[in-house]
Amino acid sequence: MKKNGILNSEISKVLADLGHTDELIIADCGLPIPEGVRKIDLALTMGTPGFMDVMDAVVNDMKVEHIILAEEIREKNQAVHEQIISRMEKEGAGTSYLTHEAFKKRSAKAKAIIRTGEITPYANVILQAGVLF
């Protein structure tokens, strides 16, 4: 049995397979998943698991060099936006923004999308993999 880190075998496998600049998305329960992109569905009930719980667990196991958020999160979900920025500043990751429509189009190139039970607006992040050396 695995001793540390993420226990979910699908997420663990995706993280192990990521290369530099590959993208992984953590999403609220409403983000559409493009056909052909692997969906890891963690949603149990409305709000469970929460976005930040999942993001924290993934970021603890993944080197992230950059994140991408929807511009709309700044105004429509300030609390989650502030939590994401605070967490990613600790990682030294850069941040950029796209419109929500552009974010949804960009999600087609993700290696996987982890769907949470989050029910607040625009609680989605693209995590771009860094490199450890």
Complete domains list, the chain, with CATH: 20-129 (3.40.1650.10)
Confirm whether residue 81 is marked as ligand binding: no
Q: 20, 41, 78, 109: which is the annotated catalytic residue?
A: 20
Residue 127 in 3-state DSSP? strand
Confirm whether residue 28 is marked as ligand binding: yes
Structure-token pair, residue 35: 């056909």
- Percent of the chain at pLDDT exceeding 70: 100
Structure-token pair, residue 13: 């496998």
CB-based burial, 23-37: b 16+ in 10 Å, e otherwise: bbbbbbbebebeeee
Taking only the tens place, the pLDDT of each residue in 21-50 is 999 999 999 999 999 999 999 999 999 999
Structure-token pair, residue 16: 């192990």
pLDDT > 90? residue 116: yes
pLDDT of residue 1: 78
